[in-house]
Amino acid sequence: MAQVGVTEARLAEEQLPEWVREVIRTAPEELVGVCYGEYPDVELPREDTFPKLLARMAEARGSYTALREKEHGIWRRITWRELLTHVRNLALGLRALGFKQGDKITLIGDNRPEWMYTFLGAEAAGGIPFGVYQDNLAEQLLPLIRNSDSTWIYCEDQEQTDKVLSILDELPQVEKIIVEDWTGMWRYRDNPKLISLREIEDMGAKMAEREPGLFSDMISRQSKDDVACFVTSSGTTGVPKCVILTYENLLFMGSAMRKIVPMGPRDDYFSFLPFAWIGEIMMVFSCGLTAGFRINFYEEPETVWRDFREIGPTIMFGPPRIWRDIVSQIQVKIADSGRLRRALFEKALQLAYKRVDMEFRREPAPTFLKLSNWLAYWLIFRPILDKVGLKRIRHAYTGGAQVSVDDFKFLRAIGVNIKQIYGQTEISGISCLHRDGDVDPWTAGKPLPGTVIAITRNGEIISKSRAVMRGYYDRPDSQDVRNGWLYSADSGMVDSKGHLVVVDRMSDIIVLQDGTRVPPQHIENRLKFSPYIREACILDHGRPYVTAILNIHPENVGKWAEDNNIPYTGYVDLSQKPQVYELLADVVRRVNRDLPAGMRIRKFTILYKEFHPDDDEITRTRKLRRGLIRERYKPVIDALYSDAGEVSFLGEVRYEDGRRDTINVTMKIVQVE
């Protein structure tokens, strides 16, 4: 079935398939645009829960590799049968310790097979797992554990255990803390609430010997309507909420995505983004357990990119910041190469951009351009992709926020089949994505099969499918879901091709004094295409013009400073160098040239520190908390709209050893011509 964009006039004419008309009749308010997937029905697997899917995979592909983890420099292989054994033993061990149906367990730790064992084991035991970001501070963990009513906690190691123990007096409901890695924790053995993951597995193995059919009975009683897990919301407006997702929600999304994206046992996925993020949940569980591809885990956080390159994944999903880092790596490598290599790359890139632009316009490329791009890929681009681990990539996706159009075009030009995804935690991760042969850098593609996306009269994107959450566990009175429709709080429209165009968060759109509407993310993404800018915040409501607070990219700017013989002592000193201000002023000027006059940046300053999740300035997925930034840096923002040439600010800095200090820093205010 063709997918088309529907304008208000066509809605009135009802030129829609019957199943779509049935869906939009349930909309709580008037609609001005609709787009939809190929067909209404997406068949779920017969095994309608994650533990059942795992049991089927272990039976069908028992000796094949399910997981690989790097330990001591060697990739350790875990088969599907071994994975099931770990999950079975954990589920039975939890039951033996009194873990009950409906109990909640918070999981804190890096991406490890043991995290998966505990997640699936808790599900098999009838519980509800809830992953949280491992770099949360103790005070940030407290409301999450408390709001989820978690009575059990899994901690990867001493670092995470210490965080939990520091707030345990405020969590009287917690019964047990499961610790996976006991390195350096011999003094903790006397704490009655702490227990080893291995000890639980041993208890479960003994129970499996006594009652061999118990595990099968446990998972056979579960169904698609049961709660699979809690997942944190983005948290841009405060403490992240606990999103309730059922097995049906997650399996519908995974099954619909697999109808568009071919995945199978020969594919490799590299798991390095936090399991607390819905993107990792959907790839590892919703897609991994249905497609059966191999999931690979890094050795240490410091070795992620080295291990990533060794695996060379075939499927990848990541937020824009990951793709920005990859593009930045490539840009720096090219800048450091010899003059001839740099000239060859630039020439090949120019031709590749022509091909990509024709692809976006759906025009056939001439034979000469196809041949030159084929040669450029094999002789120039492919060796570069090998350096960053992308040589084997078949399908690459970006989501979580709108990726920079510049990054998107650059990656497609050098041979990365990157496509945009749109979705939210509340709709199990994905509601919209590009198809091969139908890619547009300015859109998020078309809805998944069985999904309808509509635009309300005030421009808000709403969605309906079987992937829409049951609700928020800690906010039962939320109105984000009405009559089955998920209200996104995002502003958007539907184009003539049936693609969804996401403008920005409705609350983030800036309206200047003259009424000009400015989408800040669009400008911020253009700025971050520069390898020298890590983060940007565009300001501000009700003002006469646009300004910006910028964060430098410390590694890239530091390398640039060294190459230009500019000494510096640290981040604060480097960020305030006059030469660095001029470097970023050139970036701002280039971005301004491509913006309408009313949206151009008139002034900017460079913040003396990076926006940081520990300071609540950005979320763990690196989304700006704009309200807090406006409040915290109000003197800086006011100075940007005055005649001042600089602003003094009493701020806080955080050192690598965790210490904090207060400094008085003077930041320049640069007016851009």
Tens digit of pLDDT for each residue in 442-489?
A: 899 999 999 999 999 999 999 999 999 999 999 998 889 999 999 999
Say which residues have a Cβ less than 8 Å from residue 41's Cβ, sequence separation at least 6.
Answer: 450
Which pLDDT score is estimated for 13?
A: 46
Tens digit of pLDDT for each residue in 551-600?
A: 999 999 999 999 999 999 999 999 999 999 999 999 999 999 988 888 99
CB distance 406 to 529 below 8 Å: yes
Query: In whole angstroms, what is the distance from residue 389 CA to residue 519 CA?
Result: 33
Query: Per the structure block, which two tokens stand in for 56?
Result: 């089927």
CB distance 487 to 66 below 8 Å: no
Token pair 């019957």 in the structure block, residue:
18
Query: In whole angstroms, what is the distance from residue 158 CA to residue 134 CA?
Result: 12
> What is the Cα 335 distance to its own chain's centre?
29
> What is the Cα 552 distance to its own chain's centre?
22
Query: In whole angstroms, what is the distance from residue 661 CA to residue 234 CA?
Result: 29
CB distance 242 to 221 below 8 Å: no
Mean pLDDT of all residues in 44-51: 96
Residue 3 pLDDT > 70, yes or no?
no
Residue 2 pLDDT > 90, yes or no?
no
Strand ranges inside 208-311, DSSP E: 227-232, 242-246, 268-271, 294-297
Residue 45 pLDDT > 90, yes or no?
yes
Long-range contacts formed by 576-579: CB under 8 A, 24+ apart:
576/606, 576/608, 576/665, 576/666, 576/667, 576/668, 578/668
Which pLDDT score is estimated for 237?
A: 67
Tens digit of pLDDT for each residue in 349-393?
A: 999 999 999 999 999 999 999 999 999 999 999 999 999 999 999
Q: Is 153 exposed, middle or buried (0-12, 13-18, 19+ CB in 10 A)?
A: buried
Tens digit of pLDDT for each residue in 173-227?
A: 999 999 999 999 989 988 999 999 999 999 999 999 999 999 999 999 999 999 9
Q: Where are the alpha helices (DSSP H) in 261-302?
A: 278-281, 288-291
Residue 59 pLDDT > 90, yes or no?
yes
CB distance 576 to 665 below 8 Å: yes
Domain range list for the chain:
8-36+315-391+393-505, 50-311, 510-671
Other C-beta atoms closer than 10 Å to the C-beta of 403 total: 27
CATH architecture of the region 50-311: 3-Layer(aba) Sandwich (3.40)
The pLDDT confidence band at residue 14, using thresholds 50, 70 and 90, is low
Query: In whole angstroms, what is the distance from residue 644 CA to residue 642 CA?
Result: 5
My answer on whether omega of the bond before 540 falls inside 30° of 0, hence cis, is yes
Query: In whole angstroms, what is the distance from residue 409 CA to residue 413 CA?
Result: 6
Domain 510-671 listed as CATH 3.30.300.30: yes
Strands 152-155 and 128-132: unpaired
Which of 197-201, 233-237, 322-326 ranks highest by mean pLDDT? 197-201
Question: In Å, what is the CA distance from 226 to each residue of 230, 482, 496, 509, 673?
Answer: 12, 21, 39, 38, 59
Say which residues have a Cβ less than 8 Å from residue 112's Cβ, sequence separation at least 6.
Answer: 69, 156, 180, 297
Say which residues have a Cβ less than 8 Å from residue 432's Cβ, sequence separation at least 6.
Answer: 421, 422, 423, 444, 445, 446, 447, 448, 451, 453, 500
Which range (122-131, 384-393, 613-622) has the least confidence?
613-622
Mean pLDDT of all residues in 618-646: 91
Helix (H) or strand (E) holding 195: strand 194-196
Query: Per the structure block, which two tokens stand in for 372?
Result: 């030159």
Q: In the chain, what percentage of residues exceed pLDDT 90?
A: 79
Query: In whole angstroms, what is the distance from residue 283 CA to residue 429 CA?
Result: 9
Average pLDDT, the chain: 92
Q: Is 471 exposed, middle or buried (0-12, 13-18, 19+ CB in 10 A)?
A: middle
Query: In whole angstroms, what is the distance from residue 462 CA to residue 617 CA?
Result: 27
CA angle at 543 for the pair 542 and 546, rounded to the nearest 5°: 120
Fold of 8-36+315-391+393-505: Luciferase; domain 3 (2.30.38)
- Biggest alpha carbon–alpha carbon distance for the chain: 80
The pLDDT confidence band at residue 8, using thresholds 50, 70 and 90, is very low
Closest CA to 356 of 420, 416, 315: 416
Other C-beta atoms closer than 10 Å to the C-beta of 578 total: 10
3-state secondary structure of 322: helix
Token pair 């410091």 in the structure block, residue:
302
Mean pLDDT of all residues in 115-137: 96
Which pLDDT score is estimated for 656?
A: 61
Which pLDDT score is estimated for 442?
A: 87
Number of Cα atoms under 13 Å in the Cβ half of residue 277: 23
CB distance 454 to 5 below 8 Å: no
Q: Where are the alpha helices (DSSP H) in 97-220?
A: 113-124, 138-147, 158-167, 197-210, 214-220
- 523, β-bridge pairs: none
Q: What's the count of helices (H) and strands (E) in the chain, helices before strands?
A: 24, 31
Query: In whole angstroms, what is the distance from residue 586 CA to residue 113 CA?
Result: 46
The pLDDT confidence band at residue 655, using thresholds 50, 70 and 90, is low
Strand ranges inside 293-417, DSSP E: 294-297, 315-318, 395-398
Tens digit of pLDDT for each residue in 607-617?
A: 999 998 888 89
The pLDDT confidence band at residue 673, using thresholds 50, 70 and 90, is confident
